Amino acid sequence: EMFTNDDIIEAINFYDTAGDGKVGIKQVGLVLRAVGLVPTESHLNKLTSSFNEESRVGVEELVPMAREVATTRPVNLDELSMCLAPFDRESNGQITLSELRHVLSHWGDKLNEKEMDVLLQGVDVVDGKVSIPIFIKHITSY
């Protein structure tokens, strides 16, 4: 396990705005990310679906959520390459920026414009194209 209960308590205390040792259900993702986990939005929705929007959760609820996220199979880089391969029209390991933005905004955990801009920050675009291996390395090295 990459995190301890103390790590979770520390993250809860950081995001706790009410002083009750808990965080709002909408802060669950922040707490999990603060302890080094990388939950997807759909996974967070699944984990928090049994709570209402005003719910506050503490270490008792967050530790099992963190364990659930920690045991989820991480993204496989080869699978990621295979997903983008059909867009490599010239078989040169590149995807056009417009197609990449389309994929990011329409598939899986759909990103909005701002999220795409943040994700693509620092990615080299040459002649309107992005290197698929470099893009994958960029988004998976956090």
Find the CATH number of the domain harbouring 49. 1.10.238.10
Q: Contact at 8 Å (CB) between 70 and 2? A: yes
Band the pLDDT of 1: cuts 50, 70, 90: low
> What pLDDT was estimated at residue 90?
94
pLDDT in tens, 89-117: 999 999 999 999 999 999 887 889 998 99
pTM equals 0.61
Task: Quickly tell me which residue has 């965080």 as its tokens.
Answer: 23
Residue where one domain finishes, among candidates 49, 70, 91 = 70
Burial of 89 (0-12, 13-18, 19+ CB in 10 A): exposed
Tell whether 58 and 93 lie within a shared domain.
no
Band the pLDDT of 54: cuts 50, 70, 90: very high
Residue where one domain finishes, among candidates 70, 95, 127 = 70
Average pLDDT of the chain, as a whole number: 91
Q: Which amino acid is at 21?
A: G
> What pLDDT was estimated at residue 72?
83
Tokens of 89: 């029209």
User: How many angstroms separate the CA atoms of 54 and 89, rounded?
Assistant: 48
Mean per-residue pLDDT, 48-57: 96
Q: Which domain holds residue 22?
A: 5-70
Domains held by the chain: number: 2
Of residues 140, 142, 141, 126, the one with CA closest to residue 81: 140
